Amino acid sequence: MTHHNEGCLRVGQPAPEFTATAVVDQEFKTVKLSDYKGKYVVLFFYPLDFTFVCPTEITAFSDRYPEFKEINTEVLGISVDSEFSHLAWIQTDRKEGGVGDLNYPLVSDIKKEISSAYNVLDPDAGVALRGLFIIDKEGIIQHATINNLSFGRNVEETLRTLKAIQYVQFHPDEVCPAGWQPGDKTMVPDPVKKKVYFASV
């Protein structure tokens, strides 16, 4: 399946729609990205079930899931594994290298169409790189990062970025400086007014 946006999916563009089978509460369900309109979505790709870096990352997102839910955000994990592999991994205890019960859906991209649409497919390895996308309530990509296969992502940083995006969307006249945390001062993107921010730090 080729996409007209091959190689040029950027922040500010609509997130490619998909329909796929996911494991939710140990059941198979069909999920569509558009089901989450009106919510923010953290969409993250990972290479394979039953590998070493993945479980730490996947369980970390699950353990912090209530914090995402609190700010109107759904988390979706995606790999090119089948839904059966996802289910087996969820049914495997964390001590045995599984992920145990998760608080969010694990989506199967067995045909590799979703990872292709998001330009995170590693064609040589045949798996998805560690792409992470934050999609806003209107379905627009606001943040995208792609890590190589061997290192995981930071849930804390994802939450911080998400809160910064939400803040800026609610306060369109302000921008968030680097390392911004909720409650910190923001900057007004105006040559004179920005001095107010710099004067205050």
* 113 burial level (CB within 10 Å; 0-12, 13-18, 19+): middle
Q: Which of 9, 54, 132, 176 is catalytic?
A: 54
- CB atoms closer than 10 angstroms to residue 151: 10
54 assigned to active site:
yes
Which helix (H) or strand (E) segment is 161 a member of? helix 155-170
Phi, psi of 8, deg, nearest 5? -135, 35
Instruction: Give dist(CA 86, CA 138) in Å, integer.
Output: 29
Which helix (H) or strand (E) segment is 23 a member of? strand 19-24
* Three-state DSSP state, 175: strand
Which helix (H) or strand (E) segment is 159 a member of? helix 155-170
Task: Show Cβ contacts of residue 56 under 8 Å, excluding neighbours closer than 6 positions.
Answer: 152
The residues that are catalytic are 54
